[in-house]
A and B are shown apart, each in its own frame.
Chain A
Amino acid sequence: MIAAMPPAVLPPTLLDRTILRVWQKSTRTALTGREFWSRVTYYVDFIEAEPRIGDFALVLSHTSADMMAFFLALIATGRLAAFFPPNSPLQDERYYFEQQKKSLDKINPSAICIFESHIADTINRIDPDLGARMIAVPPADTAPIDTSAEPRALAMFRARLESDQPIFVQHSSGTTGIKKAVGISGTMLTGQFAAYWPMIRTSAGTDALRIASWLPLYHDMGLIATFLMPILGGDCISIVDPFEWINTPAVLFDMIEQDHADVVWLPNFAFRHFSRLRKTFQPRALGGVKLWVDCSEPCRYADAVRFEQDFESFGVHPGSVAGCYAMAETVFAVSQMLPPDQRALAVPRSVPVGADVRANGARVVTDRTQLSQDGEKLVLSSGRIVPGLAVQVQVEGVTAADGIYGEIVISGDFLFGGYRKMTAADSNIGADGIYRTGDLGAIIDGHVYIFGRLKEIIIVNGKNLFAGDVEDILNSVHGVKKGRVVAFGLDSDQTGSEDLVVVAEHDPQAGPDPAATRADVSRMISEALLVKPRDVRIVDERWLVKSTSGKISRDENRQKYLAAFRPSAPV
């Protein structure tokens, strides 16, 4: 067992060992620390010679060693850096950037740094002003490197970690394209590293982790857990672009087997997706993975157990899927479960805020033979709070006792000070420095369980959607009666995420028949929000239920939808 000592930041030993393996179309490129940091240094030179980059640069690229090196070079040279998602191969590039223009205008970077020249042509066509801020980044020079000295970017980057000012920005994914930005300082990043990384290393039983990941770097889980934390620690990252993983999911198992990975971070839906694809996989040796971290959306015990059972013959260890509660506002992890402490909370589907969950029938489950009963949901524990943070449950602003269902609030060493260009108060941070997350849950015996939200947010495969924004968009669809539409989320046993469901009343005077309207609604949501609705129902006039206040009631219409269209689903 490795002791949970404060880890060294950027230890000199990283120079002479492999720290990055980039997988692309079944080939992999391995880089030592010296080779990788030499690429960072190449880009430091490039940035210093390119004044157009300015002080805040977005990096827009598919995953590659060069884009990772460039991001670190921006930080090393004192620029504020952020990743921005590229279009997927399934999306029309021009349409994608037209949709993203609102976000790009809001973020207002001084430069948009790209590695694929065709993107510049597209952005120039939709907005010459954005096009003027485009910087085409060349491939890094991979000529023989100087092995006599440390690459100079390393010392520059190390110095930036001392800063209490933002060195990079994480953007939350919002429905309307208006993204909230969280600035992360050097000291916040190293604070998270000192608190979280020893827990992971101890659990994996090593002080040099080997991580396999397909996660996008524009999302906090990919950016922090599978890029910046291992970069700081000199651990080894094996990474593939997320779109390549979607097309060939088995590539992650190849990476784990060939690169001997011991830790993997995945969103909950990915565990479910692997189980659904189980019959397609050839056997792989996955037994080296000590920890499969389940993060970024509600963690479901049933999906964790099923994954472990489905892949037991591949070597996946029982109890190795561990929940994590994380957010950009605390850099990353708030709490983390560690084997062999796997457990879940079987909780009734409806618990009032302020209630003691156990008095309402909830029970802690540690025996996987006791899975859920009808009317319960099984919430995987997100584990114990990481050092340096204080996490409480509050009800109407008052700290609640163990087991009470309420809002999760956080304070601590590496909590953000407010969203970029917003006050602390507008960022839900009180004068006492406590951040109100809007997440609902309970803490029982030191374990954090998250299973609700104050606002009507639907999380579809890691993307946050506000129900009201979805409804607003659909009011412009011909065939939908204006103001008579409702959107809500449903836990999905099929996908392991939440489903976005839309019910809209048909306007027969408008022209399109219900089938055509259904297709139009599906297409409109896909194009405007870049998320697919799981179900769209076009119903007759006056089908939707209004509350006593005269508004369309999401809760009542959710119940009515379940009764009408999914009678076997849990209510």
Chain B
Amino acid sequence: MAQFTIADLQSIAREVIGDRDIALTPGMTAADVPGWDSLNHTLISVEISALVGREVEAQDLAGAANFGALVDLVNG
């Protein structure tokens, strides 16, 4: 697929957390986003895996310093 982007991540986060007002920037982290807890983190990882067509480990994503790094990690 095409490159995974911060817009893709925002779309998934909005859907999983159920908040259309979530706005992500590369410098933000999960701590900055209401509703992004450890359970939703697992669900977001599942949705990222489905979108990019390969398994992305929730634990690996949790280690990313911020959302910019998370996107880079997904793009490998």
In the bound complex, do residue B19 and residue A535 qualify as a contact, i.e. CB atoms below 8 Å apart?
Answer: yes
In the bound complex, do residue B18 and residue A494 qualify as a contact, i.e. CB atoms below 8 Å apart?
Answer: yes
Q: Does B42 contact A (CB under 8 A)?
A: yes
Q: Does A547 contact B (CB under 8 A)?
A: no
| A521-547 at interface with B (beta carbon < 8 Å) | 521-523, 526-527, 531-536
The smallest C-beta distance from B46 to any residue of chain A, in angstroms, reads 5
Cα distance A518–B33 in the bound complex, in angstroms: 8
In the bound complex, do residue B57 and residue A532 qualify as a contact, i.e. CB atoms below 8 Å apart?
Answer: no
Q: Does B6 contact A (CB under 8 A)?
A: no
Identity of the chain B residue whose Cβ is nearest the Cβ of A248 in the assembled complex: B58
Given contacts A277-B42, A277-B43, A461-B39, contact A522 B34 (CB under 8 A): yes
Identity of the chain A residue whose Cβ is nearest the Cβ of B46 in the assembled complex: A280
The smallest C-beta distance from B14 to any residue of chain A, in angstroms, reads 13
In the bound complex, do residue A90 and residue B18 qualify as a contact, i.e. CB atoms below 8 Å apart?
Answer: no
The smallest C-beta distance from B41 to any residue of chain A, in angstroms, reads 8
Q: Does A246 contact B (CB under 8 A)?
A: yes
Taken residue by residue from 49 to 72, chain B's Cβ proximity to chain A (1 for < 8 Å, 0 otherwise) reads as: 000000001110010000000000
The smallest C-beta distance from A272 to any residue of chain B, in angstroms, reads 9
- Residues of B within 8 Å of A494, CB to CB, are 18
In the bound complex, do residue A88 and residue B38 qualify as a contact, i.e. CB atoms below 8 Å apart?
Answer: yes
13 more A-B residue pairs beyond the given contacts A461-B39, A522-B32, with a C-beta to C-beta distance below 8 A: A246-B42, A277-B43, A277-B46, A521-B34, A522-B31, A523-B31, A532-B34, A532-B35, A533-B35, A534-B35, A535-B34, A535-B35, A536-B34
Cα distance A105–B59 in the bound complex, in angstroms: 32
| B6-48 at interface with A (beta carbon < 8 Å) | 17-19, 23, 28, 31-39, 41-43, 46
The smallest C-beta distance from B60 to any residue of chain A, in angstroms, reads 10
In the bound complex, do residue B19 and residue A90 qualify as a contact, i.e. CB atoms below 8 Å apart?
Answer: no
Q: Does A63 contact B (CB under 8 A)?
A: no
- 8 CB contacts below 8 A, A to B, read A90-B38, A276-B43, A280-B46, A495-B39, A519-B28, A522-B33, A522-B34, A535-B35
| A264-313 at interface with B (beta carbon < 8 Å) | 269, 273, 276-277, 280
- Residues of B within 8 Å of A276, CB to CB, are 43
Cα distance A533–B30 in the bound complex, in angstroms: 12
In the bound complex, do residue A532 and residue B23 qualify as a contact, i.e. CB atoms below 8 Å apart?
Answer: no
Q: Which one, B32, B35, B38, contacts A519 given CB within 8 A?
A: B32
Cα distance A536–B19 in the bound complex, in angstroms: 11
Q: Does A515 contact B (CB under 8 A)?
A: yes
In the bound complex, do residue B34 and residue A269 qualify as a contact, i.e. CB atoms below 8 Å apart?
Answer: no
Q: Does A89 contact B (CB under 8 A)?
A: yes
| A499-516 at interface with B (beta carbon < 8 Å) | 515
Q: Does A7 contact B (CB under 8 A)?
A: no
Q: Which one, A89, A277, A521, A532, contacts B36 given CB within 8 A?
A: A532
Chain A residues within CB distance 8 Å of chain B: 88-90, 246-247, 249, 269, 273, 276-277, 280, 461, 494-495, 515, 518-523, 526-527, 531-536
Cα distance A269–B43 in the bound complex, in angstroms: 14
- Residue in A249, A520, A522, A533 whose Cβ sees the most chain B Cβ within 10 Å: A522
Instruction: Give the size of the chain B interface in residues (CB under 8 angstroms).
Output: 22
- Residues of A within 8 Å of B41, CB to CB, are 90
The smallest C-beta distance from B8 to any residue of chain A, in angstroms, reads 19
Q: Which one, A247, A249, A280, A523, contacts B32 given CB within 8 A?
A: A523
Closest 10 CB pairs of A and B: A519-B32, A532-B37, A523-B31, A536-B34, A522-B34, A247-B59, A526-B31, A533-B34, A534-B35, A90-B62
The smallest C-beta distance from B45 to any residue of chain A, in angstroms, reads 9
- Residues of B within 8 Å of A495, CB to CB, are 39
Cα distance A523–B31 in the bound complex, in angstroms: 5
Identity of the chain A residue whose Cβ is nearest the Cβ of B16 in the assembled complex: A276
- Residues of B within 8 Å of A536, CB to CB, are 34
Cα distance A233–B4 in the bound complex, in angstroms: 52
Cα distance A273–B40 in the bound complex, in angstroms: 9
Cα distance A522–B31 in the bound complex, in angstroms: 6
Cα distance A515–B34 in the bound complex, in angstroms: 12
The smallest C-beta distance from A411 to any residue of chain B, in angstroms, reads 37
- Residues of B within 8 Å of A523, CB to CB, are 31-32
Cα distance A246–B57 in the bound complex, in angstroms: 12
Q: Which one, B17, B18, B35, B62, contacts A89 given CB within 8 A?
A: B62
- Residues of B within 8 Å of A531, CB to CB, are 37
- Residues of A within 8 Å of B33, CB to CB, are 519, 522
Cα distance A494–B15 in the bound complex, in angstroms: 11
- Residues of A within 8 Å of B31, CB to CB, are 522-523, 526-527
Identity of the chain B residue whose Cβ is nearest the Cβ of A497 in the assembled complex: B39
In the bound complex, do residue B34 and residue A518 qualify as a contact, i.e. CB atoms below 8 Å apart?
Answer: yes
Cα distance A28–B12 in the bound complex, in angstroms: 34
Cα distance A277–B42 in the bound complex, in angstroms: 9
Given contacts A519-B32, A522-B31, contact A273 B59 (CB under 8 A): no
Cα distance A90–B70 in the bound complex, in angstroms: 14
In the bound complex, do residue B28 and residue A249 qualify as a contact, i.e. CB atoms below 8 Å apart?
Answer: no
- Residues of A within 8 Å of B36, CB to CB, are 532
Identity of the chain B residue whose Cβ is nearest the Cβ of A460 in the assembled complex: B37
Given contacts A89-B62, A280-B46, A515-B23, contact A273 B39 (CB under 8 A): yes
- Residue in B31, B36, B57 whose Cβ sees the most chain A Cβ within 10 Å: B31
- Residues of A within 8 Å of B17, CB to CB, are 534
